[in-house]
A and B are shown apart, each in its own frame.
Chain A
Amino acid sequence: MTDYSSLLALVPLLPLFSALILLFSKLPKLWISIFAVGSVASVALISLFLNVIFWQQSDFVLTSSLGTWINLAQLNINFGLYLDPLSLVMITIVSGVGALIHLYSTGFMYQDSDFKRYFTYLNLFISAMLFLVLADNLLLLYLGWEGVGLCSYLLIGFWYQDRKNNLAANKAFLMTRIGDTAMAIGLFLLFTQLGTLDIQEIQIKAHAVWSLTNDNNNNTMASLCCLLLLGGAVGKSAQLPLQNWLPDAMAGPTPVSALIHAATMVTAGIYLIARNSQLFQLAPDVLYLVALIGTFTLLLGASAAMVQTDLKRILAYSTISQLGYMFLALGVGAGASAVFHLMTHAFFKALLFLAAGALIYSLHHEHNIFKMGGLLKKLPVVAVSFAIGCAALASLPFTAGFFSKELILAQVIASGHSGLWWAAILGAFFTAFYSARLFFVVFLGPTQLSPNAKPTKSMSLALVILSVLSLFGGIHPEGLKNLMPQLDTDGLSTLQHWLPILLPFIAISLAWWLFKTKRFGKPVPTFMQGVHQLVKSGWAFDHLYQTIFVSPFKYLCQVNKGDFIDLFYRLIEKTSGRLHMAFSQFQNGQLRRYNASLVIFCILAFAWFIRGELML
């Protein structure tokens, strides 16, 4: 086993070194591509190799330490890496999808003058993400967590000359920071309660400490820790109520949206909960909250995606909604299915984003889907891969998305939450509907813009590989089965079995009928306009937060412009100034006045000393 430790250590370090090389050197574009793509591709090969070695094993553990970070009496933190089935799946996704997106980016960003900066950030992101998923302690995980947040910020605001992009980057950074603060407090609390930050030790100690004091199957302290960790997960994975940064994060380059805001970074929250699943099982109430958050988010995202007109915003809302499915799965105790869906989602959503990027690349940065149309013949590779992506998103049978989503739905039923199941079914209907709408409008609608550039070879290659993965990638990673207790999914009724399979076809037929009768893109009837506007703005959460938080804060700032606290200090300063002015009157340069004050003082002092005698 020890032979592979050094191989494991290479996994997060290779992209880091590559990022450093790119940062401090001046290379031609070809060499930049070789370093950037090469480092991530070799990590992908390493993880593939590890997959082959640990094929179908569910209880292997591979560790590696890169040295000591903090060594205090109570607190020992190593740069320790920990590979088990869960993190193996994660590094395979991160490096595999990451390598394809790097490859794609060499074509997509070739014209950009900041080619090098782009790949530096991208490599740094991959490294931070790999640290996140491989960390054996929560502090190192938190380092990676903040690292991916930083790279997300840098890449959303990549085209920094446009103020809009900077604002979007700030929004993403600040919104996730709210969750991260909760998570940091959670880490402090875990450390004070359990005395360790090592993830495996936490799971064991949590069961030892909190199960013993367990009266009514719910421990307050365990729930509190889980809630705080959940806060971090909610922020990172764009769930209610911190979901509204993700649509704005589409301001970055499209491959970035594919990599960070669809396939990898936003799934960090799911990974965090799955990683601490044993801790979360001590707090069933919090798990139920996770399921509720996921359900509401998936409905919100799917409904908002149905009425968007911006290509990337549709995909962003779709991501929010798919992440909601993963949260739902985690919440009902189906961690393995959540991670399975995470994997298939990474394939097909990266594919959709990259195909969307190819469209945008070919059409002069046009984002409005109603200005596209009739592109099926002109961009066949893009069209076919987009169709495959949409099919997987809509979970048509035998695509990758089908297997994972059906599994989640079956597990929800098996856990006994039929209300949540109906909500998830409604969400699946919405999903199929907006996927079909998107595809019909963009590729089958009347021709409007004609593409002026073909996707480059590297872009097409990435699209083809991801298409294959989206079609055939629905292989459940067997190693995950120990993640959470398996639920019994045998007792499904006919309705529960067939409805999820038939529903996408119904939704697609409905979308086809609406498309044929040319209802898409028409102005909304007046009585619906209010609702349409509400849904289109993502249920007006931006407006809500503006009213509840931003406006009162700005008002308070306005009121406190003079700074209340400073008033006191300014009083001290003013008093001493006044006294200074008063006393400086005596120093007028007139010798006779100095003498007079001397004499007066002497007389007064004398009178003071002899006052006792005078009284007598």
Chain B
Amino acid sequence: MIPISWVFLLSLSLFVIGLFGVLARRNLLFILISLELMLNAVVILFIAASRYHSASMANSDGQIMYLLILTLAASEIAVGLSLVVHMYRQHHHLDIDKLNKLRD
């Protein structure tokens, strides 16, 4: 069996990559993708923790959590993407540094 620390490392690196994407990218679409990446990093950790704690699947809270987060991510991305499409139609670009009209 793979040691849990490997899964931790994998989850952590995925999360940091996602975080970096959120902070560094200027394109809204890529930010959304990076957000998905961060969510998935968390989800992997949930499943691994669930498996690690009860090998006989007596406690499957983590996996239920995975399903929940998956649904949430799907609905979030649906709303988010439709906003992105509208935004693109309005401004013809997705640069968030310039999309700051709500400031002030």
Contact = CB atoms under 8 A, between A and B. Distances in A.
Interface of A: 587-592, 595-596, 599
A596 B97 contact: no
A215 B24 CA distance: 97
Interface string B38-64: 000000000000000000000000000
Contact of A592 (B96, B102, B103, B104): B96
B79 interface: no
B100 A592 contact: no
Interface residues of B, number: 12
For the complex of A and B, the 9 pairs showing the least CB-CB separation, nearest first, are: A589-B103, A589-B100, A591-B96, A596-B23, A595-B23, A592-B23, A595-B22, A590-B97, A599-B19
Given A590-B97, A590-B100, A591-B100, 15 more contacts: A588-B103, A589-B100, A589-B102, A589-B103, A589-B104, A591-B96, A591-B97, A591-B99, A592-B22, A592-B23, A592-B26, A595-B23, A596-B23, A599-B19, A599-B23
- Residue picked from B23, B26, B104, most chain A C-beta under 10 Å: B23
A592 to B, nearest CB: 6
A601 to B, nearest CB: 13
Interface in B86-104: 96-97, 99-100, 102-104
Contacts of B104: 589
Nearest to B100: A589
Contacts of B23: 592, 595-596, 599
Interface in B11-30: 19, 22-24, 26
Contacts of A595: 22-23
A596 B99 CA distance: 17
A580 to B, nearest CB: 15
Contacts of B19: 599
B53 to A, nearest CB: 21
A587 B103 CA distance: 8
Contacts of A588: 103
Contacts, number: 24
13 contacts: A589-B102, A589-B103, A589-B104, A590-B100, A592-B22, A592-B24, A592-B26, A592-B96, A592-B97, A595-B22, A595-B23, A596-B23, A599-B19
A589 B99 CA distance: 9
Contacts of B26: 592
Contacts of B102: 589
Nearest to B26: A592
A594 to B, nearest CB: 10
Nearest to B102: A589
Contacts of B100: 589-591
Nearest to B104: A589
A368 to B, nearest CB: 74
Contacts of A596: 23
A592 B103 CA distance: 14
Nearest to B22: A595
Contacts of A587: 103
A94 to B, nearest CB: 73
Nearest to A588: B103
A589 B104 CA distance: 8
A595 B100 CA distance: 14
A590 B100 CA distance: 7
B96 to A, nearest CB: 5
A534 B97 CA distance: 84
Nearest to A596: B23
A423 B96 CA distance: 99
A587 B102 CA distance: 11
Contacts of A591: 96-97, 99-100
Contacts of B22: 592, 595
A596 B25 CA distance: 12
Contacts of B96: 590-592
Contacts of B103: 587-589
Contacts of B24: 592
Contacts of A592: 22-24, 26, 96-97
A431 B19 CA distance: 105
Contacts of B97: 590-592
Interface string B55-91: 0000000000000000000000000000000000000
A587 B23 CA distance: 16
Looking at A587, A589, A596, A599, the one whose CB has the most chain B CB atoms below 10 A away is A589
B65 to A, nearest CB: 21
Nearest to B24: A592
Contacts of A599: 19, 23
A374 to B, nearest CB: 87
Nearest to A587: B103
A589 B102 CA distance: 8
A596 B96 CA distance: 14
A120 B8 CA distance: 98
A99 B21 CA distance: 100
A285 to B, nearest CB: 76
| Most A Cβ at <10 Å: residue of B22, B24, B26 | B22
A597 to B, nearest CB: 10
B20 to A, nearest CB: 10
A589 B100 CA distance: 5
A584 to B, nearest CB: 10
A29 B100 CA distance: 77
A269 B66 CA distance: 98
A318 B59 CA distance: 114
B60 to A, nearest CB: 28
A592 B96 CA distance: 8
A591 B100 CA distance: 8
A596 B31 CA distance: 13
A588 B104 CA distance: 9
Nearest to B28: A591
A596 B19 CA distance: 9
A256 B44 CA distance: 103
Nearest to B103: A589
A362 B26 CA distance: 97
A603 to B, nearest CB: 10
Contacts of A589: 100, 102-104
A605 to B, nearest CB: 16
Contacts of A590: 96-97, 100
A599 B102 CA distance: 22
A599 B16 CA distance: 11
A578 to B, nearest CB: 20
Nearest to B19: A599
